[in-house]
Amino acid sequence: MRIGELAERAGTTTRTLRYYESRGLLTVARDAQGYRTFGEDDLRVLRQIRALRENGFELEETRPFVECLRAGHPEGDSCPDSLEVYRRKLAELDACIAELRSVREEVGARLARAEVEATAGSPHGPEPRCELAPPNPVPDTRQEPEGDTMP
């Protein structure tokens, strides 16, 4: 198949395919006229790359999976290098989750303190306030002109 058909079947663009080719992630054969030609294995490689990218993997992190497929394995994640990338990604995700939990705890603690302080001065809670009004509205002391002001 030609590059346009492969791009369509893989749900990507020909520009992306050329980029993957330049990065060595996609190997390209040429026909007698010099056109790029691709097979079903190339489609499998692209689907593997896309699935990994959709799950937050950097493009370079997909390389071991691509190499595993090229080595003839039915799945790109059945090789030791692919498994190592999974392990690193899980460690990275665990670190992000831990950091987010810490931030959430801090925000929750600040909210709890702020709510206590806001309700401490009033027996019925804080004074209601319009979210669109400025914090301390300045009274308008100008007087409206009398009569019709239209020309």
Task: Give how many domains the chain has, as a whole number.
Answer: 1
> Whose CA is closest to 77, among 68, 63, 90?
68
- Whether residue 143 is predicted with pLDDT greater than 90 in this model: the reply is no
Question: Is 95 domain-assigned?
Answer: yes
Question: Is 63 domain-assigned?
Answer: yes
Give the contacts of 78 (CB within 8 A, at least 6 positions apart).
68
pLDDT, tens digit, for every residue of 31-67? 999 999 999 999 999 999 999 999 999 999 999 999 9
Question: Is 139 domain-assigned?
Answer: no
Question: Is 147 domain-assigned?
Answer: no
- Whether residue 19 is predicted with pLDDT greater than 90 in this model: the reply is yes
Question: Is 29 domain-assigned?
Answer: yes
Question: Is 83 domain-assigned?
Answer: yes
> Whose CA is closest to 10, among 82, 84, 2?
2
**CATH, residue 22:** 1.10.1660.10
Question: Is 131 domain-assigned?
Answer: no
Between 151 and 68, residue with greater pLDDT: 68
**81 touches 88 (CB < 8 A):** no
Handedness of CA 125, 128, 134, 136 (dihedral sign): negative
**17 touches 59 (CB < 8 A):** no
Lowest mean pLDDT segment, chosen from 15-19, 28-32, 132-136: 132-136
User: What 8-state DSSP symbol labels residue 143?
Assistant: P
Question: Is 56 domain-assigned?
Answer: yes
* 70/57 Cα distance (integer angstroms): 19
109: burial class by Cβ within 10 Å (0-12, 13-18, 19+)?
exposed
Print the domain residue range for 102: 3-119
